[in-house]
Structure 1
Amino acid sequence: MAREYPKRPTLKAVADRAGVSLATVDRVLNQRSNVNQHTRERVLTAMAALSGNIGHTAAVPFSRAEKTLHYGFVMESGIAFIQSIQTAIAQAENSLTGLNVRLHSYTMPPIFNLPAFLQLLRQAAAENDGLILVCREDPAIAACVNQIISEGIPIVCLTNDLSDIAHLGYVGVNHVSAGRTAGHFMGHYIGDREGEIVLVVSAPFRSQYERELGFRRILREEFPNLTIRESLNNCDRDEESYQNLSELFRNGIKPLGVYNLAGGNVGVAKAIEEAGWTGDIVFIGHELNADSYTLLANKQAHVIIDQDLQTETMTAVCTLLHHHGVVHQAPSLVPATPIITIRENIGMQTQPGSTPLFFRM
């Protein structure tokens, strides 16, 4: 029999779930001002989860799986980003207690190897009832994914979509919007000065393609005083970020800004600091974690563009659960809005590692 979420949660329950004060919950529910938008969304989502309303509207019944369902997260990305996802996976599994669902992680070593990754994909497919992927674009990966899907294993892409695959869908942010947001802040921080911007990239992730597309387009449309000099590849590693930027700086090049589309934010900040240019070079990056949080607090980064990994991870799992008839209403897969964090609002954000899980079933 389908079970309904409990109704009418107390303010304290909502506050505990969202990780905020009772006063904040009261301000949100009574539509008062002085509440950060991200905090407001956390409170509303916590209220929805406790009330049984995804999207704050419709009740979502669920059933316990008749057999144990195993879902595998197959991931290759920067070390810090994978650690953040693994934290979200652990919290998601904790909230699935009683539904007869198990979550498993499959990760690559820091140095990517295509044959090894394809083997990892096939292994995960053989051991699970569904897969959630975080990986780069590659024709061989797309072919392998489609073969796995044709064999009856449903797949969802998390944080980074793949082209030309028959998956259930993509869960993550609108990365073109994220890139345009980065360009907007870059242009406004720099002002009327004319000069160059350095892009730092890593692997051929679709998310990075889309970020760069949005960034280049808004610079072209609104900030013609800024040009992009070149892209430096950092392999999502701090060491490469530091070495490549330091070499560029030693060659006498001082850009007005650095936009890191990938991981490795600490290495970028270290290179800028050792050159003596902290504060002079506008630094915008992605992924709010313990390291980037510190960079913002210490004025070593200007803007960090983030995404809600916990909600996204749970949405990806719920998409598979809906496919298997456990969740009776399909989650919305509309790409989310990027989360913007600057030094002036980090006190309104929950420090990475302590954010509560938004959905509890």
Structure 2
Amino acid sequence: MANRPTTKDVAREAGVSVTTVDRALNGRMKVREDTLRKIAEAAHKVGYHGRVLLDERLDLSKPRLRLGVVLVKGGQEFYQNFAREVEAAMAARSDVRGEVIVRFTGSQSPDDFAREMLALGDKVDAIACVAINHQKLDETVQALKDRGLPVFSLLNDTAQGIRKMYLGLNNMKMGRTAAWVLTRTMRRPGKLAVFVGGNRWHGHDLREVGFRSFVRAEAPEFTVLDSLVNLETRQVTYEATLDLLARHSDLAGIYVAGGGMEGAIRALREKRPPGKVGLACNELTDVTRAALADGYVQMVMSTPLDELCSELIEAVVAARRDGANGESVQRFLDPRIYLPEML
């Protein structure tokens, strides 16, 4: 016990006075964070018994940051992964005491999105959402902004000009990429089908525009059929794909611009041999990975969730420092492209 380290040992190792060490320990007077960190590191180095208390003081010196995240379709693998990634990205930050509150909407109605966002507004410092485009959500985002809460649009650019940032993929390029793959890999020209989630997802509209513009300019030997709304559900996509296959013997390819690709994969497995009808879709899941391996999917364009969530937390930290106002910006990430030979 005679050799037990004391505050003098900690002070000597940290290069500060014993009085400063005492203030750091008892918390009666404020100590600068960099000094507190230096003292805590010194306490660990010399084995001082009060190092746990110093660690607690150091943690409490970090600003608290609470982020609310609104997602859709909580039962889908992609959005479950999304929730885990954003929580992990916040936990990885050492400069804040971060907390993420994730909410899943019960439907894709503007009322459900607005309700979840406004409810979170009383509990968090910023909100990030995957939401539809609708005037009610423009009003909701403006109301949150007026209260000093920045809002970040993810994957689909909601409330343009009001939200703090759009963070996601370049949807126009996604559509063009899908068209390039299908028109370049299918052995014969024919008809191409496009599924979109609904008319309120402008990101899907942009993917459709990109797809059609590429085919029109670069592959006029293909014909793009009228787009189909699948509400991003497997069953609707499955039934619609069966109908397409029955009505169009020359169907060459399908692009699922949003969710529900599992239904198209199921229909193709039942009615066509691998590679007879090309399929381009989004997000690498157990189902799409298996379909790639079996030749039913020609390409998967996947959102880099780890990168997106890290960038989101970085932007939220900056917004907490700078406030909700300021320039409204877009940040495009590069998709991860998966082809059969890459598995």
Normalising by the smaller structure, the TM-score range is: 0.7 to 0.9
Task: Report the AA paired with residue 195 of structure 1.
Answer: G
- Quote the Cα distance in structure 1 between the aligned partners of 2:250 and 2:268: 10
The aligned residue for residue 280 of structure 2 is: 284
SS in 2 for 1:90: helix
Deviation at 1:308, TM superposition (A): 0.7
Matched, 1:105 2:102: yes
The aligned residue for residue 294 of structure 1 is: 290
Deviation at 1:218, TM superposition (A): 0.8
- Quote the Cα distance in structure 2 between the aligned partners of 1:323 and 1:2: 21
Task: Report the AA paired with residue 91 of structure 2.
Answer: N
- Quote the Cα distance in structure 2 between the aligned partners of 1:230 and 1:277: 25
Deviations 1:276-296 (A, max 9, x none): 243100111011222212221
The aligned residue for residue 76 of structure 1 is: 72
Deviation at 1:148, TM superposition (A): 1.0
- Quote the Cα distance in structure 2 between the aligned partners of 1:127 and 1:200: 37
User: Identity over aligned residues, as a percent?
Assistant: 20
Contact residue 195 and residue 257 of structure 2 kept, 8 A: yes
Contact residue 63 and residue 96 of structure 2 kept, 8 A: no
More helix per residue: 2
Task: Report the AA paired with residue 194 of structure 1.
Answer: P
- Quote the Cα distance in structure 2 between the aligned partners of 1:340 and 1:94: 28
Deviations 1:162-221 (A, max 9, x none): 243422211112111111111111110125x33210111113222211111111111111
* Gap regions ≥5 residues in structure 1: 4-62, 347-361
Matched, 1:339 2:339: no
Q: More deviation in 247-256 or 149-158?
A: 247-256
Q: More deviation in 128-137 or 233-242?
A: 233-242
The aligned residue for residue 202 of structure 1 is: 197
Q: More deviation in 247-256 or 132-141?
A: 247-256
Matched, 1:240 2:239: no
The aligned residue for residue 261 of structure 1 is: 257
Of 219, 222, 225, which residue of structure 2 is paired with 1:226?
222
Contact residue 126 and residue 149 of structure 2 kept, 8 A: yes
- Quote the Cα distance in structure 2 between the aligned partners of 1:77 and 1:149: 26
The aligned residue for residue 114 of structure 2 is: 118
Of 78, 83, 87, which residue of structure 2 is paired with 1:86?
83
Contact residue 137 and residue 159 of structure 2 kept, 8 A: no
CA RMSD of aligned residues (A): 2.4
Higher relative contact order (CA 8 A, sep 6+): 1
SS in 1 for 2:169: coil
Q: How many residues align?
A: 281
After TM superposition, the score normalised by the length of structure 1 is: 0.72
Question: Radius of gyration: which is bigger?
Answer: 2
Deviation at 1:99, TM superposition (A): 2.0
Identify if the C-alpha distance between structure 1 residues 77 and 270 changes in structure 2 by more than 3 Å, giving closer, same or farther.
Answer: same
Q: More deviation in 299-308 or 162-171?
A: 162-171
After TM superposition, the score normalised by the length of structure 2 is: 0.76
- Quote the Cα distance in structure 2 between the aligned partners of 1:266 and 1:154: 35
* Gap regions ≥5 residues in structure 2: 1-31, 35-58
The aligned residue for residue 167 of structure 2 is: 171
Deviations 1:290-309 (A, max 9, x none): 22122212222110011211
